[in-house]
């Protein structure tokens, strides 16, 4: 089932549920991800992230929405001219002027979006028929100019099914070559995501590649993306660290790891580079992550509990996959929950030659200090305790 069986220790429980699929990633960190509250990336920072994504193995990078600002325009220009291996995509509303700016920048692939739920249309004061006209005009203009269009029906998971079908067929008839099934508000369960992707495939036919774009408002973005892949979605949208508006977007790293380790589906994403890319994107964006976050959290391969530290020598007994699979380092840290095995391992690591009695005295001192600090005991603090 696994290409890295010796580094993945998930057992055989998932084997009956494995599936074969060709799945690629469409990264929207530079557009949807930057919509994270408080995050502002300048053009050169966006170029740096685009290069990191390219090295990571992401096949499609959404450079941005150039009509938002002069900085966004410059960012798209820099990325389009960077000579990346990945395809550079743009973002456009169903507005002809948006398409013209992409052409001016030399971007030849773009999603073209329009809202299709009645909730969105009512908020904008646009009728269903008017939106169909806008879709037809913008998509046909882009297609005539040689742009590869993927139609993006905003809030599709809350749209009337008949109108969803009509909007997507209108876009395909106007020249769109691909289609994105969009869960803008993150309401789709995995079962519903699979069902909607399957129905869209029936409506548009097997020759139209489908994307899935999901958000994480109910904590289901990764699960729904996996279900969409099983149902036939060729491209999965997401961001680094799951950053994005509200609860964020689907997390590319989590999806890639789950596909590989749980379902036996290999992608081109380099799992061993994800933690480094995650850290750099965080530095540039200025936000922190929960230390227990899957794949990139700092606690995943750190062990404080004495009961767990006693098994530290045998990683498969306490971890579902190897730290080397994702480019992480394993370590034992000390605090209130440490046990004697934690102390022994730390003494070896730091070169402290203490007998059994002194190790147990040190454990008591570590537990006291950890409780007083309500934090971990550092290596320097441990050395000072060992000297007393």
Residues 250-299 have pLDDT tens digits of: 999 999 999 999 999 999 999 999 999 999 999 999 999 999 999 999 99
CATH of 5-285, one of 3.40.50.1110, 1.10.10.10, 3.20.20.70, 3.40.640.10: 3.20.20.70
Asked whether residue 3 carries a pLDDT value surpassing 90, the answer given is no
pLDDT at 388: 80
- Residue-range domain boundaries for the chain: 5-285, 302-387
Give the model confidence (pLDDT) of 217-264 as tens digits.
999 999 999 999 999 999 999 999 999 999 999 999 999 999 999 999
Alpha carbon separation from 12 to 3, 17, 133, 266, 320 (Å, rounded):
14, 10, 52, 18, 12
pLDDT at 1: 38
Closest by Cα among 76, 62, 69, 51 to 110: 62
| pLDDT, average across residues 18-47 | 97
Spacing of C-alpha 227 from chain mean position: 15
Q: Render pLDDT for 100-116 as a digit per residue (tens, 0 to 9).
A: 999 999 999 999 999 99
C-alpha 234/C-alpha 225 separation (Å) is: 11
pLDDT at 2 > cutoff 60 = no
Distance set, CA 15 to CA 7, 20, 226, 322, 366 (Å) = 16, 12, 15, 19, 44
Predicted confidence at residue 307, as pLDDT, reads 85
Q: 230 and 194 in contact (C-beta within 8 Å)?
A: yes
Asked if pLDDT for residue 22 goes beyond 80, the answer is yes
Predicted local confidence at residue 5, as pLDDT:
66
Instruction: State the Cα–Cα distance between residues 28 and 235, nearest whole angstrom.
Output: 12
Whether the pTM exceeds 0.85: the reply is yes
Q: Is the pLDDT of residue 319 over 70?
A: yes
pLDDT at 6 exceeding the cut of 90: no
The pLDDT mean for the chain works out to: 95
Q: List helix spans (H) across the chain.
A: 43-56, 70-80, 96-105, 118-124, 128-144, 161-173, 190-204, 221-230, 252-263, 274-285, 306-309, 340-350, 356-373, 379-387
CB contact at 8 A, 104 and 90: no
**Each residue of 117-134: pLDDT tens digit?**
999 999 999 999 999 999
* Average pLDDT over every residue of 13-34: 97
Indicate left, alpha or beta for 255 from its phi (over 0: left) and psi (-120 to 50: alpha): alpha
> Average pLDDT for residues 18-36, to the nearest whole number?
97
| Bridge partner list, 93 | 113
What is the average per-residue pLDDT within 62-91? 95
Identify the band that residue 96 occupies on the pLDDT scale cut at 50, 70 and 90. Answer: confident
């Amino acid at each position: 089932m696994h290409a890295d069986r010796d580094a993945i220790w998930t057992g055989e429980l998932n084997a009956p549920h494995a599936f074969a699929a060709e799945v690629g990633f469409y990264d929207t960190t530079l557009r949807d991800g930057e919509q994270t509250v408080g995050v502002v990336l300048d053009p050169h920072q966006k170029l740096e992230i685009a290069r990191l994504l390219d090295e990571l193995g992401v096949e499609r990078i959404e450079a941005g929405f150039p009509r938002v600002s002069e900085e966004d325009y410059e960012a798209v220009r820099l990325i389009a001219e960077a000579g990346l291996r990945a395809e550079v995509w743009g973002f456009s509303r169903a507005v002809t002027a948006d398409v013209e700016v992409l052409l001016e920048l030399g971007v030849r692939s773009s999603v073209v979006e329009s809202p299709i739920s009645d909730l969105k249309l009512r908020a904008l004061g646009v009728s269903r028929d008017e939106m169909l006209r806008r879709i037809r005009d913008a998509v046909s203009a882009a297609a005539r100019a040689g742009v590869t269009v993927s139609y993006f029906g905003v809030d599709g998971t809350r749209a009337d099914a008949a109108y969803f079908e009509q909007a997507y067929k209108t876009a395909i008839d106007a020249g769109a070559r691909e289609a994105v099934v969009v869960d803008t508000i993150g309401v789709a369960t995995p079962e519903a995501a699979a069902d909607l992707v399957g129905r869209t495939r029936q409506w548009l036919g097997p020759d139209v590649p489908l994307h899935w774009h999901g958000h994480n408002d109910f904590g289901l973005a990764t699960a729904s993306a996996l279900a969409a892949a099983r149902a036939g979605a060729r491209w999965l949208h997401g961001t680094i660290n799951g950053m994005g508006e509200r609860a964020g977007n689907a997390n590319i790293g989590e999806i890639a790891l789950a596909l590989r380790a749980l379902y036996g589906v290999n992608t081109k994403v380099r799992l061993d580079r994800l933690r480094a890319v995650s850290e750099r994107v965080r530095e540039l964006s200025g936000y922190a992550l929960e230390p227990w976050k899957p794949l990139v959290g700092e606690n995943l391969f750190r062990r404080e509990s004495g009961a767990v530290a006693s098994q530290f020598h045998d990683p498969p007994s306490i971890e579902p996959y190897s730290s080397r699979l994702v480019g992480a380092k394993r370590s034992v840290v000390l605090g209130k929950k440490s046990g004697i095995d934690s102390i022994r391992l730390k003494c070896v690591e730091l070169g402290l030659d203490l007998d059994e009695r002194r190790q147990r005295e040190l454990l008591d001192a570590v537990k006291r200090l950890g409780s007083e600090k309500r934090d971990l005991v550092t290596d320097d603090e441990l050395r000072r305790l060992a000297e007393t």
